[in-house]
Structure 1
Amino acid sequence: MLSYQNFILRRNLSLTSFNGLRTLFGQMAQRVGEPNLLLTEDVLSTLTVRPPQIEEKFTLLVSEQFSGLMVATQRLEEVSWEDPEDKLYQVGLTFAPEAIAAFLTQLSTFLKDHPLAEQTFQQASQILRPNDANLQSDFTLSLLDIITEESKKNSSPDPIYPFVSVCQPVHEALKQQVEQERLLNQVTTQIRDSLELPEILETAVEQVRNFLQADRLLIYQFQQPLSSVKHLEIAENDILNFYEMAAKQELHPEESNLTIPENDNQLEQDFEQEVSDRKIWGRVTYEARASDEIPSVLGFSEEERCFLFVPNCREKYRKGFTLAVKDIETAYTFHPCILNLMRQNQVRAKLVVPILIQEQLWGLLIAHQCFEPRQWQDNEKKFLSHIAEHLAIAIYQAQLYAEVQQQKHTLEKRVIDRTQELHDAMLLAQSANRAKTEFLATMSHELRTPLTCVIGLSATLLRWSFGQLSQKQRDYLQSIHDNGEHLLELINDILELSQLEAGKTVLNISEFSLSQLAHQEMTNLKQKASQRGVELAVAIRLDSQQDRFLADDRRVRQILYNLLSNGIKFTPQGGRVILRVWREGNRAVLQVEDTGIGIPEHQKHLLFQKFQQLDSSYHRQYEGTGLGLALTKQLVELHGGRIEVNSTVGVGSIFTVWLPKQQYLATEKLSHELSSSYTKEETLINLKFPAGRIVVIENHEETATLICEILTAAGFQVVWLLEASTAMKQIEILQPVIVILDLQLSGNNGKEIVEQIRSLPGMQDVKILALTNKVSSDNLVLGANNYLLKPILPQSLLHKIQLLMANNIDE
């Protein structure tokens, strides 16, 4: 700071006199002509922090003919209210070359990042000399006029405000403050009530411009957030390095009206290309103008790259810097590129505040005065900063909303994609399920057909063998027969489960005795339980009316068999399995309780899954495919019932099944009555049939042989025909009572064959038994009276023949 002792004039001046003295300096600059250096404190306005060593205001003129320096400090204690005209300044004035040179040295220190300024100050210091006497005299006379006018003003009585209260300035200040608060509240309300960012910004820009009485107000938006200023700092450092290199080589930018030698152009070109690759541009996106006479800058972009030559230009805004420029002509003396840019866009004064979002520079809010300088007041700076803060909230709110919408769109797309994937997966699963069903149907024919011979012929040998068999031979035959039946059970379970899952299973409803069914299953499993040392018990709580029940007795037997077998399998030696049967209204309740190993709570969800046993440690001890309980649950649900389990590890398990009563069918009642006339223990030789001729149409030799052996032993006359196409004439001649027809005869349609047989003379009432691999109501639709599943069991075959022969009743 320069001491006022070095100044020839030290006195207090009003704002009017101070401005008059400034105008006098400007007039002297015009008189001396070019070259000259005329500076004010505006040259420091672009600095982030104002140097405390420099007085608040100054005016400096340096030329070869006349040089002078005026510095002024505002005296706040003299101000009674916020009226600019009442400001007093302590003014110092000097013409001494030494004092002016010292001030230039101070300015050079503060503007050290501006090589052009440093060079200009050095040149100005070199031309400092005593002033021209005539010019000094004229300046002094004008100065005396200003001081004299100031003295008259100070000696006059207190001014009288006509028709205006002395509180008028205070009233105007309060009115302005209220208007600011109203406008801020209006902008805040609009931001809260709307998510339409363009509408918010357009309205705010127009209202703020009108309040500030600015010629133009605009929003400058950067094209991308400056999340990092590292590259920008690198670019700025490169610029400074370039100027330092240029200064060492006595080179100067074009703006100094000096030319760069041709052999050094490549240095500048290389630098400019490097900076160009790193630059971050923006543009004016919103604008409000006081009139159409003011040129529009909407859409303007920094094509000149002028601001890259301003040290820390964007970084200082990111830190919240507010730029107030009273006059661009003095503020940008050392920034010719920016000065020309401002002139081109009709800017004389400007106020710039940053718009910061999450501590990142989004853009700038800029007020322009286009035709004359303007001293921006502190309350105007604060007001514009508050507006920028509220606009930042609106922009951030809009960004969040856009992100939410984008996330919503992304999620919707993902849902659509996922739905399509699930749909495709469902189609693949359905295709795989169909392929599985078709495979199992094919394999059933291929697997069950050989079993027909294994089971059927072994049973035939055991019961109708000619000649004496040794006990060992009978044991071997019995082993073959039993293992064949066991294998058939496994295949049937798989096929049954597959048919159930495919929804192709049809219940064969009949009336039966619950107690008799329960006792039969207990009898069937008695030997198995005895071998494992497990006690079987049954408790039936049914009266005579409750005992009769309508359901698919074969599948109810299968349910009981699976539950009892499961209990026997997992009950250790010395344990007990109890079967309980009772009725609850129209529902039959079947309950199997065992004292087995129990089921852990965390493994109960695996109980009714296919191919699952509860613990791998059981696999070697307990045989089984893991299909029993899965099939049981499917059969229970096929009847419309439910199954529950309660179990305690080490104590045992209780399986309870509720089966609702099914619809009654008369033909199924008759089927049950006929089938109950014998049991599994009865030998087939004891069954008596009336004489009759049976024709078998089957192209599989082993199956046909088995059927012929069984029926011949039962007293029938059997004729075996290979081809259906050549059998019609023979059937017409033989006039059989029953025709056994394989529906899977290659190259033939089962329905057509049935119709051909019935169309033969005298064959309208012939009974037709269809041989098939699967249970379906379609088998009866084909025109057959009944059907028989493969592989053929002797008991099943004779049972079906008995049904067809008895009283000529079609089933």
Structure 2
Amino acid sequence: MSNVMNPVSKSILRRTLPISIFEELCSLWRELVEIEDSTAILLNDSIISSEIVNVPEILGAKTFYLLLSSQLCALLQGTLNASSLSYQVTITCEPQAIAEFTHKLQQHLDPASPWHDRLAPYISPHLPPLNPLQSHFNGRLWNILVPEFSETSEVMYEGLRVCEPVEDALRQQVAQERLLNQVVGQIRQSLELSVILETAVRELRSFLQVDRLVIYEFREKTISNNQSENAQKTSGLVTYESRVSQSIPSLLNLVAEDTCFSNIPQYKYKYRQGQIVAIDDVEMRYAASLCLSRFLEKYWVLSKLIAPIVVNGKLWGLLIAHQCFKKRQWLESEKAFLGQIGEHLAVAIYQAQLYAQVQEQKNTFEQRVIERTQELRDTLVASQAANHSKSEFLGNMSHELRTPLTCIIGLSGTLLHWSQESTTLPLDKQQKYLQTIQNSGKHLLDMINEILEYSNLQSGKYVLAVREFSLTKVAKNVIQRVSDEAEHRRINLELDLQINQQQDSFYADPERVQQILYHLLNNALKFTPENGSVTLRIWRENNHVSLEVEDTGIGIQEEKIPLLFESFQQLENSRRRMYGGTGLGLALTKQLVELHGGTIEVESIINQGSTFIIRLPNQPQNQYKSLHNLDKNQALFTKNKTIVLVESNEEVATLIGELLTAANYHFIWLMDGTKVIKKLELLEPSAVILDQDLSEVLEINACLKELPETQGTKVLVLRDEITSKEWTEISQMGIDDYLIKPIQPNLLLKRVNALIFSNDKSEDE
């Protein structure tokens, strides 16, 4: 501001200094003219002596240096005191004193001298604006003079005893530099951003002698609009604050009303450009904005000084100084200083952000290492347990298979031997041997079927054949099947049907439901002692059926219940030796229940018995059918239907391929989407299954619907997850169906069959 005098520019310093200090001051003046541009003038007594006779008598000093330039005017005069080896020194930047000295020089110069005209512009008082050279001069002058000053040093200025303004200004310059060094030092020594900002706010408020100083931080938050797209909205709040008095209202955590500031044109843009805003009178400045005026009045803001904090090209926040008790006219030096602090804080914030990112990546990496290590440990333990279980299973199976085979081979050999002899074996013995051979063969077949069935379930090749059946009929069939075993073991077998005629009809895979009940009843009979009881109880709950098998057997320890449904498991080796079996029955049962979408629970008390409760949902009609249950017309229908899969995962592709091939479809696998449209146009499939990004899926679908050869091709997409809203949107774009991964074989066949049959029906129409 042109009407504001720099503290140094209106001061005259008089001091007795050692010769060495005076020589340093002379060097400073020579240094300044080298920094200045070519228009700067540096005169001393040696230069001017050739132009003026008796310079000491005229100018009253034996040695002087005079610097005249557009940025700085400074006069150094010194009179040597030989007895004390010191100089009586006068230093001034005061415009009037400079003008008077320059005018005196010009008066004694010959008008023809080149110096005469060069001094002409400076014979009137001239105050250069505040500039970097002035700041440099202040700092260097302080470094030279500070050792010679004491806190009580005083000089004579125009006959009055006053505190030296030069010293005060230099002290202010050093204080600024010290505060800057403190901020920079904290940045270098600490990455704790909160500590840096809190200290900076507190020290800066004290240094500038303002009533309140705050940091306002901009923050972006994500909002959703009506088009289900995310948008960024910038808001902010005061995160750090220092007040000279607790009576001043606090702005901490205050969220400013953006509608007030929006009336200020491009207020964020100018801050992003690094502009510093100084407002001496906010009441006058914002008189046109009622909202903003009320906001500032509420929080006692009379004057404010704002410097931006721009981090990596982005406006991070604002450094704001407030005067609350009286208005203030901000100096250029104060603006520049606040801006410097803002720049250094931006460096601190950027470093803290980088450090936070590194720490987050480090923590993420460490967590992943811990998780992966735990996964490897769990995998190793599971692998060891599985190997142990399988080893036991194989050992047990060798015994289980050997027993019926021994009976079959031994008794059939006996019959063969007697058939070759002249005498015949009694008929009753022949019948007994044949019955034993048949029972052993059936037992052997049951074990083999159990193993094969479990293998099919594990590989995902198992498909339910859903149809309507009678719950009563299935229950009676399975009771009849195990009745001989119950009678042999002298166990009371009961059937408790709690359903009426209207509840008897149910949709599921009846063979698998009967298999579930057989495994549970057989298991209950195996572990129930003589004279015990086993009960099968059935009832309906809305759209579900509950199947309960209750026994009075040996029971199961609570901690071992979770092991019941593990593969190749029997709870104790002693049980395996005593009761036999593959150890797959309950594991197979659980998988069949889950294949129906049902649940299985166990309740047990040691030496009192166990209860297995199964809940199965009523399946949609005509839902799942395996190939051997398809009628001939359907098999012929699907035989020539081509299904194309676009899938990069080999395991997923193999599973889908085996399922569709088993269902009599012509299956083609495309590993990637390269030129997929041309390939599909050539193949003309009945349906295409796509496992790609949604944008690619929509693009392929659009192309298929436009081509005459593929207009009727159905499109099924595979997704990790999908919301009802997303499905509504993509179905409106022509996608025919979807399937959530991981793939459920029965559901895949259901969806594909539905697409193919609907396509054929529409063609017939």
| TM-score, normalising length: structure 1 | 0.32
Q: Which has the larger radius of gyration?
A: 1
Q: Which structure has the higher relative contact order (CA within 8 Å, separation 6+)? A: 1
